[in-house]
Amino acid sequence: MIEIIIGKYNYWIYITLMMIGFYAMIAKGNLIKKIIGMNIFQTAVILFYISTGKVWGGTAPILWDKAVIYDNPIPHVLMLTAIVVSVGTTAVAIAIVIRIYKEYGTMEEDAILEIERKQAEELRKGNTGQREI
Amino acid sequence: MNIAEHFPALVIVIPLLFALITWLAGLINRAFCWVIALTITFLCFLMSFSILNTVMHTGRISYHMGAWEPPWGIEYAIDYLNGFVLVVVSFIAFIVTLYSRKSVGLEIDEEKSPAFYSLYMLLFTGLMGMTITGDIFNLYVFIEITSLSGYALIAIGRRRNSLMASFNYLILGTIAATFILIGIGYLYMVTGSLNMADLREKLPPLYHSRVVLTAFGFFTVGLSLKLALFPLHIWLPNAYTYAPSVVSAIMAATSTKVGAYAMLRILFTVFKVEFDLNVVPVTKILLVLSCIAIIAGSILAISQTNIKRMLAYSSVGQIGYIVLGTTMANQTAMTGSIIHILNHALMKGTLFLVAGCVVYKTGIEDISGLKGMGQKMPFSMAAFTVGALSMVGVPLTVGFISKWYLATGALKAGMWFILPIILISSLLSAIYFWRIIEGIYFAPAVSSQHSEVSTYRSLDHHNPHPVSRSRDDAPPGMLIPTLILAGLCIFFGIAAYIPVSVAEKAANMLLGGT
């Protein structure tokens, strides 16, 4: 039991971080906090990939006459792509939040939904009003 | 050097390159953007068609990116299934581009139109890439390209509601893509391979390993979110309702279909049929979910008042059909499922394009506003009627073909309870489409500026008077693509053997035959 916890601590860290991020994405009402949660979530997966690439006693995967065992470089390379994706997602998300803030004047999800609900109600009233005429 | 050998790479590289060039050309003259997008999508359609043709004659094509041998390098593998999906995606993209010029001019700010076409090309690249790739990590990258351009396209319109819709889609889409990434990581951990064909060979001894089972779980949930299978569909209605019409059309017609294709790939190429049937009861879970999706989608669609939202909910139901066919794991139902990818793209494409025409002409999005439209926009409404009949599944339309194959497949699998579900859902869709069609043709117009007599006269072609003020259909640039799609709904409903011959081979291949 102890071995599972101590011996694979990197995976425990990954799972904990992932759950923190996941929780923030779902439960937080503030849009920026959601984005922060999304970043933690994605970073956790990056950490997971990196730790799968590590070989005990391995060196950096370079041509070097003293090196016998290499770390697996592929997960690192894959994660370069994932980092780019993560940056791209964050940029798009922040751009959308900036526009949301300009349109609604708030970044709280509840407040935005409230504004949208009122707007829909007014629209419905407007429509029925026209029909009566 | 034969250029045709490199079509699998070109079909991705050209739109990717031109996504940038489109934007740069837009700096010089905004009119260039549409021309470039139209040319590129048409070129890609021709290339996809040529690829499918080669596949039909010589079998699976394996293209090695940069001449690196698989499983080390990235392989683009095209067989019957994705050759078919490539043609569908590129054709719909071409038709929607043809349609987009006027609609984009109306619904998107002028200075944003180069950015729109640039993103549109990126979305197209992503969809084609998801379809063509034989490398599972490459699949993830293309999923993200599709999603990121999709989020931006949804939010590009003028309506502020689209922003929250786009943000919610972004959060859920990122969860889905990251889940897929975790699944890929788990498979890579135990096999050391990222190539789909290679994984298929290496995975069977590990089928009962917990890592593989977890990976499979992540894949299923992630892809279900992407293709909006019922309980995970919540991002879809708002996104389709508030996005600009062109974006709704292209996304409804292709992006969920490509998601469904990716799910087929994971379920039946990376994992084998035996795994889906015996190791994990995934087909049973998906069967139940898709049945619920079919019924719930139709019921939710009935209660909507906005046309686009109604079509979005009906999409949820139709995605249920695609998944339903895959879960029965027999050739007939699988054929129905694959052919429904084409058929649903055609009918939903038609319906969303008509919705766009109506918005362009009148700004109306409410179903009650469609009353009397049969006289005002006869051609658009005829296309709508064809699409609606197709959705209901009337014979001689494409909807009937898919339902026929699904129902026959269900009987072959001995799952008789699926028949009433298909029947009930067809009746429900008849209800919500009849409600509209009745309004279109049999109700007087809401804003009745014309007397009943003049409305009737406009129907009369021998009327010596100019064809009444009330007729005012969408411009030809929008009408022709809509009518082409509507025409194909009927054409492939009659000449069904053309797509079916491809779909049958694809189904056979997925289920382990040759």
pLDDT in tens, B464-489: 433 344 677 888 888 999 999 999 99
- For the stretch A19-54, pLDDT in tens is 999 999 999 889 999 999 999 999 999 999 998 888
Closest Cβ–Cβ partner in A34, A85, A104 for B171: A34
Residue A68 pLDDT class (50, 70, 90 cuts): confident
Q: What is the mean pLDDT of residues B237-242?
A: 91
**Which of B174, B182, B191, B366 should be substituted to probe chain A, the one whose Cβ sees the most A Cβ atoms within 10 Å?**
B174
Q: Which residue has the higher pLDDT, B20 or A128?
A: B20
Tokens of B450: 């014309």
Q: What is the mean pLDDT of residues B38-59?
A: 92
Q: What is the mean pLDDT of residues B135-156?
A: 93
Q: Which residue has the higher pLDDT, B236 or B453?
A: B236
Q: Which residue has the higher pLDDT, B493 or B71?
A: B493
Owner of token pair 């729109």:
B116
Model confidence at B41: pLDDT above 90: yes
Give kind and range of the element (H or E) at residue B64: strand B61-64
Closest Cβ–Cβ partner in A75, A95, A116 for B164: A116
Chain A residues inside the 8 Å CB shell of B193: none
Model confidence at B203: pLDDT above 80: yes
This model of the complex carries an ipTM of 0.91
Chain B residue closest to A113 (CA)?
B164
Q: Count other C-beta atoms under 10 Å from residue B467's C-beta.
A: 13
pLDDT for residue B461: 41
Put simply, whether B174 touches A (Cβ < 8 Å) is yes
Cβ separation A127–B366 shorter than 8 A: yes
Burial (CB count <10 Å: 0-12, 13-18, 19+), residue B292: middle
**Which of A31, A89, A133 should be substituted to probe chain B, the one whose Cβ sees the most B Cβ atoms within 10 Å?**
A89
Q: Which residue, among B387, B380, B286, B287, has the nearest Cα to B343 in the 3D structure?
A: B387
What's the mean pLDDT when you consider all of chain B? 87
Give kind and range of the element (H or E) at residue B76: strand B75-78
pLDDT for residue B445: 65
Q: What is the mean pLDDT of residues B110-129?
A: 92
> Nearest 5°: CA angle at A62, between A61 and A65?
115
* A54-68, B105-119, B133-147: which is most confident: B133-147
Chain B residue closest to A127 (CA)?
B366
Q: Which residue, among B477, B482, B474, has the nearest Cα to B360 in the 3D structure?
A: B474
Least confident of A56-70, B113-127, B276-290, B383-397: A56-70
Q: What is the mean pLDDT of residues B19-43?
A: 91
Put simply, whether A50 touches B (Cβ < 8 Å) is no
pLDDT for residue A128: 53
Q: Mapping DSSP to helix (H, G, I), strand (E, B) and coil, where does residue B108 land?
A: coil
Model confidence at B454: pLDDT above 70: no
Cβ separation B189–A52 shorter than 8 A: yes
Domain boundaries, chain B: 295-514
Q: What is the mean pLDDT of residues B241-259?
A: 91
Put simply, whether B161 touches A (Cβ < 8 Å) is yes
Put simply, whether A70 touches B (Cβ < 8 Å) is no
pLDDT for residue A126: 66
Cβ separation B160–A103 shorter than 8 A: yes
Q: Which residue, among B198, B200, B146, B202, has the nearest Cα to B176 in the 3D structure?
A: B146
Q: Count other C-beta atoms under 10 Å from residue A74's C-beta.
A: 17
Model confidence at B76: pLDDT above 60: yes
Architecture of domain A2-132: Orthogonal Bundle (1.10)
pLDDT for residue B278: 83
Cβ separation B167–A97 shorter than 8 A: yes
pLDDT for residue B90: 94
Residue A71 pLDDT class (50, 70, 90 cuts): confident
Report how far Cα B370 is from the mean position of its chain's Cα atoms: 25
Residues above pLDDT 90, as percent of chain A? 44
Chain B residues inside the 8 Å CB shell of A38: 171, 174
pLDDT for residue B20: 92
- For the stretch B357-404, pLDDT in tens is 988 888 878 888 888 788 888 888 999 999 999 999 888 889 899 999
Cβ separation B170–A22 shorter than 8 A: no
- For the stretch B125-140, pLDDT in tens is 999 999 999 999 999 9
Put simply, whether A25 touches B (Cβ < 8 Å) is yes
Put simply, whether B93 touches A (Cβ < 8 Å) is no
Q: What is the mean pLDDT of residues B451-457?
A: 37
Contact B407, B487 (CB under 8 A): no
pLDDT for residue A86: 93
pLDDT for residue B274: 83
Put simply, whether A36 touches B (Cβ < 8 Å) is no
Closest Cβ–Cβ partner in A48, A74, A100 for B163: A100
How far, in Å, CA of B305 to CA of B13, rounded? 42
Put simply, whether A40 touches B (Cβ < 8 Å) is no
Q: What is the mean pLDDT of residues A99-126?
A: 86
pLDDT for residue A80: 92
Residues above pLDDT 70, as percent of chain B? 94
pLDDT for residue B104: 85
Q: Which amino acid is at B87?
A: V
- For the stretch B6-15, pLDDT in tens is 898 999 999 9
Cβ separation A41–B178 shorter than 8 A: yes
pLDDT for residue B118: 93
Angle subtended by helix axes B418-442 and B398-412, to nearest 10: 170
pLDDT for residue B19: 92
pLDDT for residue B5: 85
Domain boundaries, chain A: 2-132
Contact B35, B117 (CB under 8 A): no
Least confident of A57-71, B216-230, B346-360: A57-71
Model confidence at B1: pLDDT above 50: yes
Instruction: Measure A4 CA to nearest chain B CA, in Å.
Output: 15
Q: Which residue, among B308, B498, B283, has the nearest Cα to B409 in the 3D structure?
A: B283
Angle subtended by helix axes B113-132 and B136-155, to nearest 10: 160
How far, in Å, CA of B60 to CA of B50, rounded? 13
A-to-B residue pairs, Cβ atoms closer than 8 angstroms: 70
Chain B residue closest to A87 (CA)?
B148
Chain B residues inside the 8 Å CB shell of A29: none
Instruction: Measure A93 CA to nearest chain B CA, in Å.
Output: 7
- Specify the DSSP class assigned to residue A70: B
Residue B447 pLDDT class (50, 70, 90 cuts): low
Q: What is the mean pLDDT of residues B72-98?
A: 91
pLDDT for residue B456: 36
pLDDT for residue B60: 87
Alpha-carbon dihedral sign for residues B118, B123, B127, B129: positive
Q: What is the mean pLDDT of residues B83-93?
A: 93
Chain A residues inside the 8 Å CB shell of B148: 85, 88-89, 92
Give kind and range of the element (H or E) at residue B357: helix B331-362
CB contact set of A97 (below 8 Å; sequence gap of 6+): A31, A32, A35, A107, B167
